[in-house]
Amino acid sequence: MLRRTGKVFLPLAGRPVLAHTLDRFDEVESVVEAVVAVPADALALARQTFGDRLRSGRPLRFVAGGPDRTESVACALAVGDPKADLVAIHDAVRPLIRPAVIREALRVASEHGAAVVGRPVDHTVKEVSPSREIVRTVPRTSLWIAQTPQVFRRETIVRAYAARGATAGRVTDDAQLVEAMGLPVMMVEGDAANIKVTTPEDLRLCESLLAAGWPFESPQQD
């Protein structure tokens, strides 16, 4: 399931950003469908642009999202295949996710119930006051930057969303809702190319990576 964004239509290497993202998931054999939440006024355009099937022929559905990311995921969950064992929630504008990483996240979630793709923090991190004075240097040994996909057993994420209540406005990723239930969430290592396109610079960087031959050889690739 892919979260709502108007950026899915931006051109990337001659195709919409979302087309690249969908192709990455379509390469994963165990994916049975894709559900994408988009703004209500973009539904017709999305269906016209991307159709109702992935390249493999598996179903592709678009649903009107809610007023924020959490509600948009809830809208997608409501129409997803109830027989699916796992749900992978991914930012639609992370087009350079490796299929091998998706497969690993699915494997870990199947074993442990929940998994988040991310990267260890490799920069020095500073805590800063409102006046921008450095308060302290934060030890980074156990810090990771969360990415997507975030994968959960379907029953777990449906229960977590049903119980989100007043906490929803403070939620910045789906794993927080599962963590709030006291359930374990495992981390799966991704890579720096799994960029979320939020600025023109991000889009240009994705363009450059594709032009340079992404996906590059990696120990994580099959």
Domain of 190, CATH number, reads 3.90.550.10
Task: Tell me the two tokens of residue 55.
Answer: 């390249």
pLDDT for position 1: 64
Q: Answer whether residue 1 is part of any domain.
A: no
pLDDT for position 160: 94
- Whether the Cβ atoms of residue 38 and residue 46 lie closer than 8 Å to each other: yes
Q: How confident is the model at residue 2 (pLDDT cuts 50, 70, 90)?
A: low
End-to-end CA distance of the chain: 23
Q: Answer whether residue 216 is part of any domain.
A: no
The length of the chain is 222
Q: Answer whether residue 218 is part of any domain.
A: no
Which domain range does residue 146 map to?
A: 6-211
Q: Answer whether residue 124 is part of any domain.
A: yes
Q: Answer whether residue 162 is part of any domain.
A: yes
| Mean pLDDT, residues 24-41 | 96
Q: Answer whether residue 133 is part of any domain.
A: yes
- pTM of the prediction? 0.92
Give CA separation, 74 vs 21, 62, 71, 153, 205, in Å.
20, 13, 5, 15, 31
Reported as a single tens digit per residue, the pLDDT across 148-194 is 999 999 999 999 999 888 665 678 899 999 999 999 999 999 999 99
Reported as a single tens digit per residue, the pLDDT across 102-141 is 999 999 999 999 999 999 999 999 999 999 999 999 999 9
Mean pLDDT rounded to a whole number for the chain: 93
Q: Answer whether residue 217 is part of any domain.
A: no
Q: Answer whether residue 128 is part of any domain.
A: yes
* H helix or E strand, kind and range, residue 112: helix 99-112
Domain count, the chain: 1
